[in-house]
């Protein structure tokens, strides 16, 4: 049994976030190895690194760090939530940050801040997640702690301060100086089991004092009590505990970021674990969670303690070959017990908690209950998916869900053989349950199965998983762009009138709508301005449904209509002939007519593209982006001879770009892209799209 007695102030729910290839998984493995070594029954023999047990997990089709792993360090329970680094999977980072209390941001010490580092940093800021920074790979050729620190200051925050500084440079690094305790911690080999505490080398004392002063001066500013003492006695008069307390208060404030560095594979990870335990928040530090009552919409507070009614959020669904569907969830208040019933307050379904499992560094462990502040996985939930709230059936609450962007890329997929047909449907259903940015639909006109995702790589990986995990062979078509339609005029007044008389009882629905443009990204807004019951209350909802259904197929090329307001302000009804269906049809007719008259436009997804290239290929890369209707936003020097180009390019021009870029730059450039916004399609391009769709 896992230790259920961990007090809440000793729990750390933390994520490891980074740009792809910064060494995030290696650092996670390093953490699991170090904590397993200290807290596991029996010994992990030298050479038997964590990959021993990671590999077994991979063979089972689920990496051990797929969602949440629990390990223990110096009396603290650390729930690590892993996040992928590739831009196509930023939504994974987003949903993890929603349930995290703190994060460790990993940087590649040879590259410093990279494009995706900025994205994950922005997401962490959005959710108010306190962070520590770990500059990885500084003991490799080209690794430089101070240069990387400069890029953090230039691109992320001036408020990042070393709490440790490395001893040595590149391969000669053999430890670090702790600026709080003013002690050196060294090792002979970076994979050593022991850090040796020593006095600071004489030639580094001045440097250590300089960085310590900087750390203390900025940390005490966030803690009034210690600030007063600092003014009275100076930094020399502060005890080690007071300095550490000031740094913790500053870190929890969310605008102060302690920085350390080393090699994620090495013993230095122990110092990262110390920082997690000492500086990152517990669920108690993060305070109350707020939600709404599913029926009344009233705001409800849930405090992070076991006595409150239960409230939790499912943040990830995975399929495990051994136990089936696993729902990872964070408990915000109360407790969850195996065998009990809970309410899925997002959809009103009652669910039975089959088993509760905790992923530990090298095994799965059944637990009988988990309490407020904790993270675990439930086996046996049928109707729960990502973003759903689980709550006490007698005290329902809906927590803020997780917003997922609409996937911009689609491809047609078909099974290679008849026998694959049924397996493919099941596989796609399972994958869609796990990944909320992966959508599956059947095209009404062609009967084809269409899958949509966040990018070509995203869909490639899902098709590959289908082949490996579900043994389904499939043929895929060319990628298609998810265009949208919108309007450019406002206050267009239209009538939708549906009357049908065919002997006996007829149909009668009559509505007046005012159609207007909404802010970009705002989506659809329905305003009910009916006065005096000219449209009875029971017909308002059907009108709204009719409008929403009509928006699914636009008037230019049949793409969904987005970002519009529809105000229902007048209408009439018939005592006998009016019914819900008639008003639904009337709403649908009014919307279509209104869009036609409000200057409809075709919109295309525009991607933010970041290319890192050697300087000699820069002209070619820029020329290529310009030829794809790209707009160059910025060019920056990353390091000597390496440039970073940021551009905005329509998605329709970017298929196969990665392959072309490699061949144009002898394989030396890399790129990443993410959906940034939707923009009007130029007339000549729009005509070609409309012509293609009307065939």
pLDDT at 545: 93
The C-alpha atoms of residue 260 and residue 266 are separated, in whole angstroms, by: 14
Q: In 262-374, at which residue ranges do the beta strands (DSSP E only) sit?
A: 289-292, 299-302, 311-320, 324-333, 335-337, 341-344, 349-352, 355-360, 363-367, 369-371
Beta strand 480-481 with 409-415 is antiparallel
The C-alpha atoms of residue 335 and residue 574 are separated, in whole angstroms, by: 54
Residues 6+ apart with CB under 8 A from 42: none
The encoded tokens of residue 282 equal: 């517990």
Q: In 438-588, at which residue ranges do the beta strands (DSSP E only) sit?
A: 439-442, 449-453, 474-476, 480-481, 484-487, 492-500, 507-517, 525-528, 564-572
Mean per-residue pLDDT over the chain, rounded: 83
Q: Which residue has the tokens 């060019």?
A: 635
C-alpha triplet 452, 458, 461: angle, nearest 5°: 115
The C-alpha atoms of residue 28 and residue 542 are separated, in whole angstroms, by: 51
Beta carbons of 369 and 5 less than 8 angstroms apart? no
Intra-chain end-to-end CA distance of the chain, in Å = 64
Q: Which residue has the tokens 């379904």?
A: 349
The C-alpha atoms of residue 243 and residue 183 are separated, in whole angstroms, by: 14
The encoded tokens of residue 522 equal: 């705002």
Per-position DSSP letters for 228-247, written without gaps between them: HHHHHHTGGGS-HHHHHHHH
C-alpha triplet 92, 426, 420: angle, nearest 5°: 120
Continuous segment of H or E residues that includes residue 167: strand 164-167
pLDDT at 80: 87
Residue among 453, 49, 31, 467 nearest 272 (CA): 31
Neighbours of 134 (CB within 10 A): 29
Burial of 545 (0-12, 13-18, 19+ CB in 10 A): middle
The encoded tokens of residue 41 equal: 């029954």
DSSP letter (8 states) at residue 539: G
pLDDT at 4: 53
Beta carbons of 274 and 180 less than 8 angstroms apart? no
Beta carbons of 438 and 408 less than 8 angstroms apart? no
The C-alpha atoms of residue 375 and residue 377 are separated, in whole angstroms, by: 7
| Dihedral angle of Cα 418, 419, 424, 425, to the nearest 10 degrees | 80
Residue 329 β-bridge partners: 314, 376
Beta carbons of 137 and 108 less than 8 angstroms apart? yes
C-alpha triplet 15, 18, 21: angle, nearest 5°: 130
Low-confidence ranges of the chain (pLDDT < 70): 1-5, 20, 24, 37-67, 82-95, 190-193, 321, 361-363, 402-403, 444-446, 503-504, 639-640, 694-695
Per-position DSSP letters for 245-282, written without gaps between them: HHHHHHHHTTS-EEEEE--TTSTTHHHHHHHHHHHSPP
Beta carbons of 230 and 199 less than 8 angstroms apart? no
Beta carbons of 97 and 124 less than 8 angstroms apart? yes
Q: SS3 for 549?
A: helix
The encoded tokens of residue 271 equal: 């110092």
The encoded tokens of residue 267 equal: 């013993």
Residue among 95, 100, 105 nearest 134 (CA): 105
Residue among 650, 645, 615 nearest 632 (CA): 645
Q: What are phi and psi of 351, to 5 degrees?
A: -125, 145
The encoded tokens of residue 339 equal: 């065998």
Q: SS3 for 174?
A: coil
The encoded tokens of residue 77 equal: 């329970």
Residue among 474, 408, 347 nearest 655 (CA): 408
The encoded tokens of residue 631 equal: 């707009």
What is the strand order of the sheet 492-500 is part of? Answer: 492-500, 507-517, 564-572, 525-528
Residue 567 β-bridge partners: 514, 527
pLDDT at 331: 92
Q: Which residue has the tokens 């908690």?
A: 353
Continuous segment of H or E residues that includes residue 542: helix 540-551
DSSP letter (8 states) at residue 538: G
Give pTM, 2 decimals: 0.70
Beta carbons of 408 and 649 less than 8 angstroms apart? no
Residue among 100, 122, 102, 101 nearest 113 (CA): 122
- At 112-152, the pLDDT tens digits run 887 777 777 877 887 889 999 999 888 888 889 999 999 99
DSSP letter (8 states) at residue 163: S
């Amino acid at each position: 049994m896992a230790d259920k007695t961990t007090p809440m102030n000793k729990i750390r729910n933390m994520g490891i976030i980074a740009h792809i290839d910064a060494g995030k998984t290696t650092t996670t493995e390093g953490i699991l190895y170090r904590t397993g070594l200290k807290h596991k029954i029996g010994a992990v023999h030298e050479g038997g690194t964590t990959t021993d047990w990671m590999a077994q997990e991979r063979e089972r089709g689920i990496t051990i760090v797929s969602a949440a792993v629990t390990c223990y360090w110096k009396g603290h329970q650390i729930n690590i939530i892993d996040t992928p680094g590739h831009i196509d999977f930023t939504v994974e980072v987003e949903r993890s940050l929603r349930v995290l209390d703190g994060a460790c941001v990993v940087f590649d010490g040879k590259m410093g801040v990279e494009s995706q580092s900025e994205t994950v940093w922005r997401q962490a800021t959005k959710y108010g997640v306190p962070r520590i920074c770990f500059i990885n790979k500084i003991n490799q050729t080209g690794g430089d702690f101070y240069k990387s620190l400069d890029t953090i200051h230039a691109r992320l925050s001036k408020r990042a301060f070393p709490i440790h500084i490395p001893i040595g440079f590149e391969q000669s690094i053999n430890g670090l100086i702790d600026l709080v305790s003013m002690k050196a911690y060294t090792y002979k080999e970076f994979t050593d089991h022991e850090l040796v505490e020593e006095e600071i080398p004489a030639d580094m004392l001045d440097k250590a004092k300089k960085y310590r002063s900087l750390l203390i001066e900025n940390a005490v500013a966030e803690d009034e009590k210690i600030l007063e003492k600092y003014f009275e006695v100076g930094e020399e008069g502060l005890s080690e505990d007071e300095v550490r307390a000031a740094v913790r208060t500053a870190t929890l404030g969310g605008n102060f970021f302690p920085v350390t560095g080393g090699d994620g594979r090495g013993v230095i990870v122990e110092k990262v674990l110390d920082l997690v335990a000492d500086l990152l928040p517990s669920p108690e530090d993060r305070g109350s969670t707020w939600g709404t009552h599913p029926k009344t919409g009233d705001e409800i507070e849930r405090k992070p303690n076991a006595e409150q009614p239960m409230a939790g959020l499912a943040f990830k669904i995975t399929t495990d070959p051994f136990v089936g569907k696993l729902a990872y969830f964070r408990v915000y208040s109360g407790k969850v017990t195996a065998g009990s019933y809970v309410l899925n307050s997002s959809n009103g379904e009652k669910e039975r908690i089959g088993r509760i499992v905790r992923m530990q560094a090298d095994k799965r462990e059944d637990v009988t209950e988990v309490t407020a502040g904790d993270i675990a996985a439930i086996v046996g939930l049928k109707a729960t998916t990502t973003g759903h709230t689980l709550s006490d059936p007698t005290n329902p609450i809906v927590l803020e869900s997780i917003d997922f962007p609409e996937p911009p890329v689609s491809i047609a997929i078909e099974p290679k053989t008849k026998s694959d047909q049924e397996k493919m449907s099941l596989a796609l259903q399972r994958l869609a349950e796990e990944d909320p940015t992966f959508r599956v639909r059947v095209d009404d006109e062609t009967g084809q199965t269409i899958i949509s995702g966040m990018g070509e790589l995203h869909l490639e990986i899902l098709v590959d998983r289908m082949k490996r995990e579900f043994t389904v062979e499939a043929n895929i078509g060319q990628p298609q762009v998810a265009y949208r339609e919108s309007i450019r005029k406002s206050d267009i007044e239209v009538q939708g009138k549906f009357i049908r008389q065919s002997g006996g009882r007829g149909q009668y629905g009559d509505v007046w709508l005012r159609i207007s443009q909404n802010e970009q990204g705002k989506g659809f807004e329905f305003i009910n301005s009916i006065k005096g019951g000219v449209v009875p209350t029971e017909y308002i909802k059907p009108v709204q449904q009719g409008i929403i259904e009509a928006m699914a197929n636009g008037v230019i090329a049949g793409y969904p209509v987005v970002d519009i307001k529809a105000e229902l302000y007048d209408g009439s009804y018939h005592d006998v002939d009016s019914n819900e269906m008639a008003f639904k049809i009337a709403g649908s007719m009014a919307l279509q007519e209104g869009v036609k008259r409000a200057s409809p436009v075709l919109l295309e997804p525009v991607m933010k593209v970041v290319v890192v290239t050697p300087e000699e290929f820069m002209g070619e890369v820029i020329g290529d982006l310009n030829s794809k209707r790209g707009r160059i936003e910025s060019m920056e020097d990353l390091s000597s001879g390496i440039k970073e180009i940021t551009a905005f390019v329509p998605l329709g021009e970017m298929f196969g770009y990665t392959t072309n870029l490699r061949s144009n730059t002898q394989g030396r450039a890399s790129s990443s892209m993410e959906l940034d916004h939707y923009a009007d399609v130029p007339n000549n391009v729009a005509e070609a799209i409309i012509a293609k769709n009307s065939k």
